[in-house]
Chain A
Amino acid sequence: MIMATGQSLPGQRRWQRVLGTLMIWLTAAMVTLSVLTAGAFLGLLLWFAGSWLTAEGMASGGVLVRFWGNLQQLLFQPSASLGIEAMLPAIIGTVIMIILMTVIVAPLGVLVAVYLSEYAKNTWYTELLRIAIQNLAGVPSVIFGVFGLGFFVYAVGGEIDGWFYAETLPRPTFGTPGLLWASLTLALLTLPVVIVASEEGLARLPTSMREGSYALGATRFETIIRVLLPAAGSSVLTGVILAIARAAGEVAPLMLVGVVKYAPTLPVSLQAPFIAFEQKFMHLGFFIYDVAAHANVGEGRLGLICAAAVLLVGLVMLLNLTAVLLRKRLRDRYQALSEE
């Protein structure tokens, strides 16, 4: 019963215990501090956004009326006095860019994951590919922007202009930052996320699953497409979700490959070809940066930034939620399969 009665302990051991408890308290305080900081930051965002959106601005009346009025103004009306544009085009630009990126990165990532997990033997080439993908994940995002500008925009875009848009030169069409290049750059940026998650999911599937499929006479392609991918679907989706979450918050590479403060037209339209791949576009993250760095107002700015930030974080969460629900449905459907 030495543990229970501290008083009767020998001096050195007692001192050890006091010191240890002090350290434990300190580390516990750090946990509290971290959570507190995270909570405080979120609270700060919500508080400033809320108070700005319900302020007596354009509309007066009840809280909801004022909220709606302010929100409408933020979304639809550019404010000359603040030197800012309306936010809706920025939201649309962000969503379009992310959709385009997902369309590029999801199939490519899955293909590479399938290769690494199902086709590749343990050769130096496979090992090199794995190392390269791992390192790609650690490259700073702005470097992707530098690459995108140097390679996609100036090299590839310049070539495309030379072949197909020679009549409009020297005014560049694809040889200038735009939606397609931004999506491609972000696709490259998020590629490791999709590959790693998908490969993990495929690797976790039992070998018996493949053997069963082959025993029934399926080819390797049929095994992958009918058996393995559906079973690993939730992991693939997790990868895509993580990729989207990462892409939505990135601004630095986009500043180099296609985002502008103000684009006169949306990159999407109702007429064919529906998406203007070569066009520069507006982006929510860049909107926040621009307001913080350049807008010519003092106090109203913080609320505006927080409102936009809440929208950006909300957008990410909405995308995540959709994917999570989708994942759950898939998992339910293939639960029996993957449990075997």
Chain B
Amino acid sequence: MASFPWQTPTIAVLLPVAADRRRHRIDVAATLSVRVASFLVMAAIVGMLLQLVLSALPLLQSPQPQSLSATSIPIALSDLKPARPDWVPRQFDRVTWESTEHERVWVAVGSDGLTGGRLLRRDVNWPTQSEALPIPVMPSGTRISALHISGTLDWLIVLADTGDYWVQSLRNDDHEKGTVPTHVGAVWSPGGRSLILQQDVSFHVLHKVMAHGYPVLRPMTAIDVSNRILGLAISPDGDRMVLATDQPALQVWLRNGRKPSVSIPLATQAIQVGWLDDDTIYATGTDTPRRYWYVDPSAGGVSTRDLFARQWYEGYLESTWTWQPKAAKEGYQAKYSLIPLLMGTLISAFLATLMALPVAIGAAIFTGFFMSPKLRSRIKPAIELIAAFPTVVIGAVLAVWLAPRFDTLLLEILGAIVMVPTGVLLLSLLWQLHPVAHRTKRYLSQLPLLLLLALLCLVTLGVALGQQVESAVFDGSFARWLYLEYGIPVRQRNAVLVAVALGFAIIPTLFSLAEDAINAVPRSVAAGSLALGATHWQSFRDIVLPMAFPGIVAAIMLGFGRACGETMILLLLSGNAPLSEGALFEGVRSIAATLAMELPEASVASAHYRVLFLAALLLFAITFVFNTAAQLFKRRLRALEASVL
């Protein structure tokens, strides 16, 4: 664009009149404001990316533990576990206890083995006499080295000097005995779903899983710390552990970690460690006073393995990719695997593109090449009308109208999908058998209008056919047959339904760009090939299509990118079940829908919040790649066209 940089100063110099000087000043001010505005926008765009990166980044850094003075710790020291509550019988030396709002449980080493009791709260009062507890049976003379009651008051672990351990349910008679040599201590996870056995220089993690209706402990991992472990404690939320070894340092571990996520140097070795709250640890040395550290839960709170590798979570029978941020029930492990979300996003976008591709590109080919310009000017806006429906409307209508009867309509929809192309092909063949067909080509440009009635009939026929097949072959319910024969459940909200809605929503994106690309090919090029004796279709396929191809690819990329970022349709139709098996008729959960649902509830700067920002960054990266690829293809298209003209 032409600009005249000499213009403004000339006026100011030649005509030094007051009014002109004012005009000059205004001009300078305008220049400044325009520059500032464009700079602001640039800053906003760069800042946007930066904001996403900076919010997610601390996740992958190792945390910097802050040392706290005893006066600045968040919890009053008196709130810590009191020395011994008055409901625990006085006569025992070695006793452990645990309480909730409604229950109190104590277990003690008596003169003739273990004893224990439970108190249940009545109204506002507590009874004075405790009920008896189921206590593991162990040989007399067993010397007990450690006791621990799970935070849910369900389970007791007893360790003996011999290396045997007993796990006893405190609710019923379920119990289990095992042996781990040279163990020192044992700790339940807060939810009582896994047990950590502390040994001399290593610790074992055992998960409680249900086998044949009984809970059994299954050894999961044994981790060698290669230093003697002096103390071990799990955080109240169950996400992290702190370890004291004979080295002068504390180690903080993630629950599924293979190595410490952070190490805190000490002056001397600590002998006792513990958690004040979810984020504050304390340690006491032999002759040093107790010290406190704040360990940021979001910084390094999730490892790359947590995000992308299979993990064996407590309560699971195998290692899985699972997305389950902080669960409703406390004490569950937070599960931050991004794989199910990524798979959900890509699968639904892929299926949607697959669904929209034949329809949109087919329509683009006909509208761009075969249709008369007059009809084209009416048909194109009609197809682009789809873009005027907000996606929330598409999602809502299909969620309420189609989703509840999707399982019964499955075969009817399939019938229509099969019937339309085959029917059109048959009609075309029939028409061409008639000798008149080859004498005229004039009907071609009006063909879509002529096919309107035929298509309506074909859809009806397809639906009827689907119904007939369903009642005749599949006993009246295809969905039930699918489940009984192949074990494929058809859920109300599923990936196929998402693909239908999403495919519908991206038709205009695909169609518009592809049609533009085809229509932009000069008519003279095709006319030349027709004059040389090519048929219409040959002329399109061999001359126009190669030229428009980059544009069509760009359209597909753009459509796929849009499908990846679409939120409302996924939110309403996908069922939002974070699965990664890729089953077609089960729910999916996409990154975009997860962001919309979970981010408002995630507390600022928590690990969950940062993982969500990382997911947003991932989604941004995916769409960025596809959009950039589309831009490159578009540029190629322009170059190609320029070379022809």
Question: Is B483 at the interface (CB under 8 A from chain A)?
Answer: no
Kindly state the separation between the CA atoms of A85 and B23 in the bound complex, as whole angstroms.
55
Given A145-B596, A150-B613; A30-B358 close (CB under 8 Å): yes
B38 and A115 contacting across the interface, CB-CB below 8 Å: yes
Kindly state the separation between the CA atoms of A22 and B537 in the bound complex, as whole angstroms.
9
Question: Is B1 at the interface (CB under 8 A from chain A)?
Answer: yes
**Centre residue among A6, A24, A28, A285 by max chain B CB count within 10 A:** A28
Question: Is B639 at the interface (CB under 8 A from chain A)?
Answer: no
B455 and A293 contacting across the interface, CB-CB below 8 Å: no
Nearest CB in chain B: distance from A292 CB, A: 4
A21 and B561 contacting across the interface, CB-CB below 8 Å: no
CB < 8 Å: which of A24, A135, A138, A145 contacts B447? Answer: A24
**Centre residue among B34, B452, B504, B600 by max chain A CB count within 10 A:** B34
Kindly state the separation between the CA atoms of A56 and B436 in the bound complex, as whole angstroms.
56
Question: Is B567 at the interface (CB under 8 A from chain A)?
Answer: yes
B399 and A31 contacting across the interface, CB-CB below 8 Å: no
Given A24-B537, A219-B24; A31-B448 close (CB under 8 Å): yes
Nearest CB in chain B: distance from A11 CB, A: 14
1/0 per residue, CB under 8 A from B, across A194-221: the answer is 0100000001000100110010010111
Question: Is B140 at the interface (CB under 8 A from chain A)?
Answer: no
B41 and A301 contacting across the interface, CB-CB below 8 Å: no
A146 and B397 contacting across the interface, CB-CB below 8 Å: no
Question: Is A275 at the interface (CB under 8 A from chain B)?
Answer: no
Kindly state the separation between the CA atoms of A135 and B627 in the bound complex, as whole angstroms.
7
For residue B263, which residues in chain A have a CB less than 8 angstroms away from its CB?
Answer: none
Question: Is B425 at the interface (CB under 8 A from chain A)?
Answer: yes
Given A134-B631, A146-B616; A36-B447 close (CB under 8 Å): no
Least CB separation from A20: chain B residue? B537
B390 and A248 contacting across the interface, CB-CB below 8 Å: yes
CB < 8 Å: which of B23, B400, B449 contacts A222? Answer: B23
B396 and A288 contacting across the interface, CB-CB below 8 Å: yes
Nearest CB in chain B: distance from A109 CB, A: 9
Nearest CB in chain A: distance from B263 CB, A: 31
B residues 498-537 with Cβ under 8 Å of A?
504, 507, 511, 533, 535-537
Which of A76-84, A251-259, A330-338 is found at the contact surface with chain B? A251-259
For residue A151, which residues in chain B have a CB less than 8 angstroms away from its CB?
Answer: 47-48, 51
Given A142-B567, A292-B396; A219-B7 close (CB under 8 Å): yes
A112 and B448 contacting across the interface, CB-CB below 8 Å: no
Least CB separation from A298: chain B residue? B404
Interface residues on chain A, size class: 35 or more
For residue B391, which residues in chain A have a CB less than 8 angstroms away from its CB?
Answer: 249
Least CB separation from A33: chain B residue? B359
Question: Is B476 at the interface (CB under 8 A from chain A)?
Answer: no
Which of A60-68, A95-103, A306-314 is found at the contact surface with chain B? A306-314
Least CB separation from B48: chain A residue? A147
Nearest CB in chain B: distance from A43 CB, A: 12
Question: Is B284 at the interface (CB under 8 A from chain A)?
Answer: no
Given A114-B34, A128-B42; A30-B359 close (CB under 8 Å): yes
B390 and A285 contacting across the interface, CB-CB below 8 Å: yes
Which of A117-125, A231-239, A263-271 is found at the contact surface with chain B? A117-125
Say what secondary structure dominates the interface of chain B.
helix
Least CB separation from B567: chain A residue? A252
A36 and B38 contacting across the interface, CB-CB below 8 Å: no
1/0 per residue, CB under 8 A from B, across A151-168: the answer is 100110000000000000
For residue B393, which residues in chain A have a CB less than 8 angstroms away from its CB?
Answer: 45, 249, 285, 288, 305, 309, 312-313
Question: Is A321 at the interface (CB under 8 A from chain B)?
Answer: no
Kindly state the separation between the CA atoms of A23 and B428 in the bound complex, as whole angstroms.
9
For residue A128, which residues in chain B have a CB less than 8 angstroms away from its CB?
Answer: 42
Least CB separation from B45: chain A residue? A132
Nearest CB in chain B: distance from A54 CB, A: 19
B421 and A129 contacting across the interface, CB-CB below 8 Å: no
Kindly state the separation between the CA atoms of A101 and B225 in the bound complex, as whole angstroms.
58
Question: Is B2 at the interface (CB under 8 A from chain A)?
Answer: yes
For residue A48, which residues in chain B have a CB less than 8 angstroms away from its CB?
Answer: 401
For residue B4, which residues in chain A have a CB less than 8 angstroms away from its CB?
Answer: 210, 214, 220
CB < 8 Å: which of A36, A154, A220 contacts B27? Answer: A220
B38 and A41 contacting across the interface, CB-CB below 8 Å: no
Least CB separation from A22: chain B residue? B428
Kindly state the separation between the CA atoms of A113 and B51 in the bound complex, as whole angstroms.
25
Question: Is A169 at the interface (CB under 8 A from chain B)?
Answer: no
Question: Is A276 at the interface (CB under 8 A from chain B)?
Answer: no
B395 and A292 contacting across the interface, CB-CB below 8 Å: yes
**Centre residue among B35, B41, B394, B428 by max chain A CB count within 10 A:** B41
New A-B contacts (11) at CB < 8 Å, excluding given A22-B428, A140-B619, A214-B4: A2-B533, A24-B447, A30-B365, A32-B448, A108-B41, A203-B1, A211-B2, A224-B30, A245-B388, A288-B396, A313-B393
Some 12 contacts from A to B, beta carbons below 8 A apart, are A7-B435, A20-B536, A26-B425, A26-B428, A118-B3, A119-B31, A132-B42, A134-B631, A214-B7, A252-B571, A285-B390, A288-B392
Across the A-B interface, the 10 shortest Cβ-Cβ residue pairs? A140-B565, A20-B537, A249-B390, A30-B362, A6-B438, A252-B567, A292-B396, A138-B627, A111-B37, A28-B447
**Interface of A toward B, CB cutoff 8 Å:** 2, 4-7, 13, 16-39, 41-42, 44-45, 48, 108, 111-112, 114-121, 125, 128-129, 132-136, 138-147, 149-151, 154-155, 177, 188, 191, 195, 203, 207, 210-211, 214, 217, 219-222, 224-225, 245, 248-252, 255-256, 285-286, 288-289, 291-293, 301-302, 305-306, 309, 312-313, 316-317
